[in-house]
Structure 1
Amino acid sequence: MASPSHILIVSLLAFLVCATHAQLSANFYATTCPNLQSIVRSAMTQAVNNNPRNGASILRLFFHDCFVNGCDGSILLDDTSTFTGEKMARPNNRSARGFEVIDTIKTRVEAACSGIVSCADILAIAARDGVVLLNGPSWTVQLGRRDARTASQSAANSQIPAPFSPLSTLISMFAAKGLSARDMTALSGGHTIGQARCTNFRSHIYDDTNIDATFANTRKANCPNITGRGDDNLAPLDIQTPLRFGNNYYQNLVARRGLLHSDQELFNSGSQDSVVQSYSNNDGLFKSDFTAAMVRMGNISPLTGSNGEIRKNCRVVN
């Protein structure tokens, strides 16, 4: 039987965890910046209309932000002579994009309510809106995050899952952030939109056997098997509907047409096969699980209260 002191400690820890998440709320800016949601949606609409890829890019920024010391806007910080950020980390260098979109939104938000809304919250809302604008589901974004004054290139290198990762590594890396294997498989559905660079799928199309041969040959046409040649050539992550958010990504996996090694690992005689199969047959189930997982991901270690700051410029600390 647990001792009273042990029960007290466990209860206190549970309270602290709940209190951290309780500080995020859907109406956090209801009185201080009531037009926030419409400002972000308007800017994202312009960005996606200008280039639909922006929806996927902002979603990816949010994912890469949350996986490094929590959803704190650290990925938005530029390097300086005295500060090393996360933009040059391996998962972000030459591939993370959409920073100018966030800059535009921040400028408009500052004009409406200066010094109130964090860059971390702007990124969270923009990620949701990018999905919605590409015909994806909506969800209530919890708000109240503050911005980090620090960043970690080393954490970005070690904690963001790589496109070459096996299933066991993917599961453990998501578990380290408090996300289940099912959360991981649902969140991977974000790859129903966006593109990947040849350097990130070259080994899959040339070396792996769990890939449809016709699909592999199609991708080889624009991705030569020579390191350094065509590295930045792009291919859609979802060959069926790269600009429309839906469950075709999972149908591709069942057909062995996942672009990245890490994608196809979700359907490769492993523990997630049944989940992938379910999502491939049920778009509503996928979208329901995706939105729930997005809310959980958005709750990873937020800075709240007096921690961090509200940056005036998302690229630099105040």
Structure 2
Amino acid sequence: MVTRIQVGGDRPYEVLVGHGLAGELPGLIGDAARVAVLYSAPLRERAEALAGALAAKVTPIEVPDAERGKTVEVAARCWDALGEAGFTRSDVVVGVGGGAVTDLAGFVAASWLRGVRWVPVSTSLLGMVDASVGGKTGVNIAAGKNLVGAFHPPAGVLCDLGALATLPPDDLTAGLAEVIKCGFIADPRILELVEQDPTAHLRELVERAVRVKAEVVGVDLKESGPREILNYGHTLGHAIEKREKYTWKHGHAISVGLIFAAELSRLSGRLDDATAARHRAVLEKAGLPTAYAKDAWTDLLAAMRVDKKARADTLRFVVLDGLAKPGILTGPAEGLLRAAYAEVAR
């Protein structure tokens, strides 16, 4: 059974969730004469199997795994490969892998000839519920994560649940952070399922998280309004990733960021104690970290000041005014930020 979730907007597309979705790829490729398949070494066999199902001429491009592949230098190598293969505007880029690979593939597609079609084939939980949905593409630079990128919706998204069976347990756990985020900002049923047993409800968790994101990005592709709520927990989370030189998993950093955002909400008088405390309980139930280094505050504050969500010199945070009631906190006093960080510092 394949679940089809519609993402609206000016360029609507579907997110397909199910098992054995390779047969759906040719329909998304259409009549393209050439297809570039980006993948990391651990996913070579899966990428080759997908390529084998295509009638188009395939250009395989192996890229470094995880965040190491999300660089301008790697993107430039991919552009060179497209040029050598004679890629035109009617051709397609496919990204096979987790969120880092699909972010890279989307950016390569967005920038080649000012935009060609692309399809993310997500193989990680994080990729399925976050990176591949919404048309955000990009790479990291020294100044911060995802600071260079483009909004470029895909032709469609494939979320093959079979890939989760071979996902390392730590990667599966990390992906739950973005799922849990969706529970707090929009769909509390997600939290109940995680509190019961997340592994027993993976399909429903994926579908619910995708629906949350699809509903938001369908009305706000370019993060000019409602889409900001998807950044709950991300301002501090991205700062942690930068400080750790991207050696921390995205989901682990976002988990700590969620605790910080919840405490910021509580200490600013906008969120009740019980919902703030539930953040820690749910994240720990999922096996995610909820604390970070006590001596890191100065570095983290500096990193947050160059975050994409900042406006000029003013910091902005997504907070909660209650369960599934997100809002924005603009320009909080540094004392308030320090107090919130004290709740996650170890």
- TM-score normalised per structure 1: 0.29
**Higher RCO (CA 8 Å, separation ≥ 6 residues):** 1
